[in-house]
Amino acid sequence: MRTMYHKKRSLLQFLFPVLILSFFCTQAQEKTTESILSDFVESYKTDPMAHSVYFGIKVGDEWWHVRSERTQEAYKVGKNKQYTFHNYGPHQVTLHQGKPETPTWYFDFAGKEVLDNLYSGKWTAATASAKSFGTDQVGLNIRSMDGFSIGVREDALGYEVMEHFWKTGIVEITRFARDGSLPTHGVDHVGLYTMKDKRIGWFSIGPEQAANAERGLDKGQVPNLIIITKGKGKAELGDEVIELKPGMSVFVPPYVRHVIYNPYAEPMEGIVVLFGDNIDFAEGKSYMDFLEEQHDFYKHYDLNARN
């Protein structure tokens, strides 16, 4: 009898924490849209990367909007007080139910499941929004309301808000693996960080998979930096074919054909950095034009800083 009792007690000791964990997981899954959005708002209040911004949120057929005013305070440091540092926050960030009162841009969620996956950390917003082509159907889009047109400024602002609003915690931790990825450009992808001028992602190319094999994806207007961390594969770079192995990086300039594929039995993994957004250079201005304008900005900034 004592042996049976001890076995039952051991079983209960094992089951109890499992049941508690299951309960809290169920509770997390049952959080309402409002409570999830409120948690994101509370986190954004203390984010050093928060913007002064007004935007909408549409989850299925349900509308919300957010108004944010950044708080920052400058202070002098250094032996001669020659440098300026800043304190950020707490910012004034408020959540309101309903459509934005003034037309603006908004985050469009395909459904609450996408929001739940962002809240649980299964996906990043950059992962849920990644497209191969502009017409692709994805879980999260940035759109403009009727009467509002998204320009380059709003596009850049939207990416930065997307990266920081849809995460909790000041230090943002992204876990990348195939089970937390979504397909784009022919590979499994996790968005690590996205801004207008840089897009950083983790990729996994499974056996017989290929990146950029479709026509129109094999070359672009912006440079790519590809870093191999695991597995091996091959790359068609212009007219050259090279073997890819861990510990290698490949910098691909604009308009150079690049198709990455894996003819081996194990997945090949790595990091990709895109220096900009292809669409910004599709209507006249080149990436090198952009760099020259950036150099002019640095020149004027340097002159103003000295005066």
Q: Is residue 203 part of a domain?
A: yes
Residue 111: which pLDDT band, with cuts at 50, 70 and 90? Answer: very high
pLDDT at 305 over 80: no
Q: Is residue 123 part of a domain?
A: yes
End-to-end CA distance of the chain: 89
- Do 192 and 158 share a structural domain? no
- Do 224 and 149 share a structural domain? no
What pLDDT does 4 receive? 45
- Do 204 and 120 share a structural domain? no
The strand order across the sheet containing 258-261 reads 210-211, 258-261, 233-237, 240-244
CATH code for the domain of 48: 3.30.1050
- Do 54 and 157 share a structural domain? yes
- Do 251 and 188 share a structural domain? yes
DSSP element (H, E) containing 180: none
DSSP element (H, E) containing 88: strand 83-88
Lowest-pLDDT range of 4-18, 161-175, 199-213, 261-275: 4-18
- Do 69 and 102 share a structural domain? yes
Q: Which of 165, 188, 217 is the last residue of a domain?
A: 165
- Do 260 and 196 share a structural domain? yes
Instruction: Give the mean pLDDT of 216-243.
Output: 94
Listed in sequence order, the DSSP H helices in the chain are: 2-29, 33-44, 112-120, 125-129, 152-165, 287-306
What pLDDT does 306 receive? 65
- Do 157 and 42 share a structural domain? yes
Residue 113: which pLDDT band, with cuts at 50, 70 and 90? Answer: very high
Q: Which two tokens stand for residue 284?
A: 């006249």
pLDDT at 21 over 70: no
How many CB atoms sit inside 10 A of residue 9's CB?
Answer: 10
Lowest-pLDDT range of 79-88, 122-131, 155-164, 167-176: 167-176
Q: Is residue 107 part of a domain?
A: yes
What pLDDT does 24 receive? 45
Residue 163: which pLDDT band, with cuts at 50, 70 and 90? Answer: very high
For helices 112-120 and 33-44, what crossing angle results, to 10°? Answer: 40
Instruction: Give the mean pLDDT of 178-193.
Output: 91
Q: Which of 165, 196, 230 is the last residue of a domain?
A: 165
- Do 118 and 190 share a structural domain? no
Q: Is residue 283 part of a domain?
A: no
- Do 105 and 191 share a structural domain? no
Residues 6 or more apart whose Cβ sits within 8 Å of residue 219: 255, 256, 257, 258
Count of structural domains within the chain: 2
What pLDDT does 6 receive? 47
Give the position of tokens 């594929």.
261
Q: Is residue 156 part of a domain?
A: yes
- Do 140 and 72 share a structural domain? yes
Instruction: Give the mean pLDDT of 109-121.
Output: 95
Task: Kindly report the pTM of this predicted structure.
Answer: 0.83
Q: Which of 130, 138, 275 is nearest to 195 (CA)?
A: 275
- Mean per-residue pLDDT of the chain: 89
Instruction: Give the mean pLDDT of 183-195.
Output: 92
Residue 256: which pLDDT band, with cuts at 50, 70 and 90? Answer: very high
CA 186 → CA 91, 118, 292, distances in Å?
Answer: 40, 22, 33
CATH code for the domain of 229: 2.60.120.10
Residue 193: give the domain boundaries: 178-278
Q: Is residue 12 part of a domain?
A: no
What pLDDT does 29 receive? 52
Instruction: Give the mean pLDDT of 180-194.
Output: 92
Q: Is residue 124 part of a domain?
A: yes
Q: Which of 165, 190, 224 is the last residue of a domain?
A: 165
What pLDDT does 302 receive? 75
DSSP element (H, E) containing 102: none
Instruction: Give the mean pLDDT of 1-23.
Output: 47
Q: Is residue 294 part of a domain?
A: no
What pLDDT does 229 receive? 97
- Do 184 and 160 share a structural domain? no
What pLDDT does 145 receive? 97
Q: Which of 235, 272, 257 is nearest to 126 (CA)?
A: 272
